[in-house]
């Protein structure tokens, strides 16, 4: 009965949140656009666009206020590292304050949910539920962001050799580096295409190509991207042929990807040891030794 009541309350709260989101969708869109403009140093006046936007209340605003209050209260948050993790995971419009606020909201929600479930349990279980709910709520958003960032990094590293090959073909055909990057950004999909379009957007707003490449490396700090960015920067600074540099870089990236594949293949026997011992071997023993055990049991009475 209690679980059914809790489920109904959760569904009712979710429906109310969706209704509030639908009512303030236009204001949320405007807030996100203004926030993206503020990231590049352009801030609207108080009596201008912000006054026209209004103060729509949604989960993002609540989380941002909670995060700002927590930072003012405790002040031990590494904002640069957190921002780098969010950008690596692809959450470009989520601020550090909103992320911290969502973690606080998840902690409070899971703690309250486990506390309500264990309300009729002994006090020890209630105490354990509060601790487990707090730890899960605080760690779960961080784990989600880190796992998504790692998945995006791996996908970008897989797609980068193909990008380098296409750049080599385009540059040797007579297209400049900026034009080749713009062409690849418009045609590529996935995380690498998003990062290239983001870099082109930064250049269109006034950043130099060297600075845009540096910011790309800040967002996606992997060995392949690091080699790619440094090769392009050194080629532009020293006046070396970009085509030759990219051709050598493609060979190096494919060699690194082959070494990574060999490393994963060597780790496979160790990773398969746990399911082999605890899942496969018991089933084999039951099938092979089961009839013998029953035969011995019948033989000895």
Q: What is the CATH number of the domain that holds 246?
A: 1.20.81
Is 190 among the domain residues?
yes
Give the integer Cα–Cα distance in Å for 152 and 149. 5
- Global pTM exceeds 0.85: no
Is 223 among the domain residues?
yes
pLDDT digits (tens, 9 = 90+) for 48-80: 333 333 344 467 788 888 888 877 777 667 778
Is 152 among the domain residues?
no
Is 252 among the domain residues?
yes
Is 207 among the domain residues?
yes
User: Please, which residues have CB within 8 angstroms of residue 5's CB and are 6 or more apart in sequence?
Assistant: none
pLDDT band with cut points at 50, 70 and 90 for residue 47: very low
* Contact call for residues 168 and 241 (beta carbons, < 8 A): no
pLDDT digits (tens, 9 = 90+) for 111-148: 888 777 766 666 777 777 778 778 888 888 888 898 99
The pLDDT of 26-47, averaged and rounded, is 49
Give the integer Cα–Cα distance in Å for 63 and 77. 15
Is 204 among the domain residues?
yes
Looking at residue 272, what is its pLDDT? 87
E-strand stretches of 112-229:
none
Our count of domains for the chain comes to 1
Is 205 among the domain residues?
yes
Looking at residue 34, what is its pLDDT? 53
Is 210 among the domain residues?
yes
Give me the domain span that covers residue 209: 160-270
């Amino acid at each position: 009965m209690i679980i059914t009541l809790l489920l109904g309350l959760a569904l009712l709260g979710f429906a109310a949140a969706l209704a509030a989101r639908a009512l303030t969708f236009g204001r949320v869109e405007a807030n996100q656009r203004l926030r993206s403009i503020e990231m590049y140093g352009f801030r609207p006046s108080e009596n201008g666009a912000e006054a026209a936007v209004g103060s729509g209340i949604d989960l993002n605003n609540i989380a941002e206020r909670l995060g700002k209050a927590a930072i003012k209260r405790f002040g031990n948050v590494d904002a640069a590292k957190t921002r780098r993790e969010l950008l690596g995971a692809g959450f470009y419009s989520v601020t550090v304050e909103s992320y911290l606020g969502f973690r606080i909201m998840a902690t409070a929600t899971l703690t309250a949910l486990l506390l309500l479930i264990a309300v009729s349990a002994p006090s020890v279980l209630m105490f354990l539920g509060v601790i487990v709910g707090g730890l899960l709520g605080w760690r779960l958003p961080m784990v989600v962001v880190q796992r998504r960032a790692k998945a995006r990094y791996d996908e970008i590293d897989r797609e980068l050799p193909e990008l380098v090959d296409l750049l080599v073909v385009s540059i040797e055909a007579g297209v400049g580096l900026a034009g080749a990057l713009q062409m690849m950004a418009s045609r590529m999909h996935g995380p690498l295409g998003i990062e290239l379009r983001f870099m082109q957007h930064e250049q269109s707003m006034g950043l130099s190509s060297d600075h845009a490449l540096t910011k790309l490396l800040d967002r996606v700090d992997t060995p392949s991207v690091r080699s790619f960015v440094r090769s392009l920067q050194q080629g532009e600074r020293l006046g070396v042929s970009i085509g030759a540099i990219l051709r050598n870089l493609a060979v190096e990236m494919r060699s690194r990807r082959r070494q990574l594949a060999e490393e994963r293949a060597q780790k496979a026997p160790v990773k398969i040891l746990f399911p082999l011992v605890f899942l496969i071997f018991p089933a084999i023993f039951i099938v092979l030794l089961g009839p013998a055990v029953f035969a011995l049991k019948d033989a000895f009475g």
